[in-house]
Amino acid sequence: MAYQENSAMTKSAGSGHPSARFAAPALVALALALCAPLCPAQEMAQDQGPAPRLASDPHADSHIAEAIRQVSAERIRQTIEKLVSFQNRSTISAQDEASIRAGTGIGAAREWIKAEFERYSKECGGCLEVKTDRFTEQPADRIPKPTEITNVYAVLGGSDAEQAKRIVLVTGHYDSRNSDTLNGTDPAPGANDDGSGTAVSLECARVLSKAVLNKIKFPATIIFLAVAGEEQGLNGSKHLAEMAKQQGWKLEAVLNNDIVGGDRSPQQDASVVRVFSEGLPAAASEAEIRRIRMLGGESDSTSRELARFIADVGRSYDAGVKPLLIFRLDRFLRGGDHYSFNQQGFAAVRFTEFREDFNHQHQTPRTENGIEYGDLPKFVDFNYVGHVARLNAATLASLASAPAPPANVKMQTKALDNDTTLTWEPSRGAAAYEVVWRSTKAPDWEYVQTVSNGTRPTLKVSKDNVIFGVRALDAAGHRSLPVVPEPER
């Protein structure tokens, strides 16, 4: 049975009396009918013309839909099997010339990924700039001696000179491990962890660069990244995120794919992929935490808005898999590269399959008591990885097509007042704006009101009762990430 976000609710309603399962929806409908005169939507309808739409209306761009159809599960299979062929991709495995020539160790994996990006670039007339971020990590817990770590990435520059400064990024880690983090020689296939995420990054690069060749324009820049050092302590992503911060990158979104192989265990739910996002930002100062506490903004980090954006993409495009938002930084006892970006103040989320099989991660391949251990390609569902790649590609393309999110978004709180006045600065490329809002206890945006004129609307909705966001949209309907207003007194 497919897992659903509201399954807990259905379950509790269904427990006990058998008729309760059928009574519950009727009660909800009745409650909605009774509440209608008080609902924000109705309030708007009476005072301001047309009622706001539900914020969850799907809106797809046919060019993006066509681009994501090019994702190939077969290509993904080839990528993952190639990565596995390097035997051991531990960050402390071999990277000398002889090993690279022999096709073993992380050095060979790195050179192959770089060559793949270069091949895609050649196919799109040089549209990708292939780069490396190389540094030497000093000895630490899981790094016995000074070790060179290399992140490999491809940049698809934006088509608009000004908008190109905005960046969206997809990443996976190409390093692997077996049962011993300090073993750089015995097999560490890492097909799922994280051959799958690396394959997502590469496949997004292939199809979106091809889309550009087919004359689709992305005004903002897209970066396709493969990092190393994840298993030794997020070293590669930390270095790149710090570089992005130091160099002032306008990095709007980071999609980290780690363990998206859809392990073929019987309890797997291949219809969803989990999307983890932090609540309180790791980078928030004490003053910011105080403000968040005052405003009830615990569920409105930029990473959380990115997660909601992905939910919207999931409703708008047929990726083959639906995002299942998890309002939590990561799984228990685990971490990932998105956190390196969160620590530098960037919006970053983690994609991970619904149910992990821990016998197939971080394990030296072997059979014990009839149980087969090891992160092998045969446990990976390549179609599933393809679906996750489609969801990622649609998200990247949607963000890179959209105008910049509105800047300096404020909510006027100078006087006691039951209406809400919002203000913001115009965004480059915006044809209109949308104010979205939701009940303080709702997980996702519920209502949307279009603002076609000006950047200072007053809504007949009380700021005390809801959470607002403002997003920009272009003439074709591409939406930016929403920005939650700051109170201005």
Q: How far is the CB of 331 from Zn ion (least distance, A)?
A: 11
Report the residue number, 193 or 278, with the smaller CB distance to Zn ion.
193
Report the residue number, 158 or 236, with the smaller CB distance to Zn ion.
236
Report the residue number, 193 or 330, with the smaller CB distance to Zn ion.
193
Around 473, how many Cα atoms within 13 Å sit in the side-chain half-sphere? 19
Strand partners, 134: 150
Question: How many other CB atoms are there within 10 angstroms of residue 6's CB atom?
Answer: 8
Report the residue number, 203 or 258, with the smaller CB distance to Zn ion.
258
- 273 with 247: CB under 8 angstroms? no
Q: How far is the CB of 72 from Zn ion (least distance, A)?
A: 23
Report the residue number, 194 or 330, with the smaller CB distance to Zn ion.
194
Which residues contribute to the site for Zn ion (CB under 5 A)? 193-194, 258
Report the C-alpha gap between 102 and 125 in whole angstroms.
31
Report the residue number, 231 or 300, with the smaller CB distance to Zn ion.
231
Q: How far is the CB of 108 from Zn ion (least distance, A)?
A: 20
Report the residue number, 152 or 430, with the smaller CB distance to Zn ion.
152
Around 31, how many Cα atoms within 13 Å sit in the side-chain half-sphere? 6
Strand 221-227 with 166-173, pairing: parallel
- Torsion angle of C-alpha atoms 395, 400, 402, 408, degrees rounded to 10: 100
Q: How far is the CB of 231 from Zn ion (least distance, A)?
A: 7
Q: How far is the CB of 172 from Zn ion (least distance, A)?
A: 8
Report the C-alpha gap between 262 and 384 in whole angstroms.
6
Q: How far is the CB of 336 from Zn ion (least distance, A)?
A: 6
* CB contact burial 151-187 (16+ within 10 A = b; e otherwise): bbbbbbbbbbeebbebbbbbbbbbbbbbeebebbeeb
Q: How far is the CB of 349 from Zn ion (least distance, A)?
A: 15
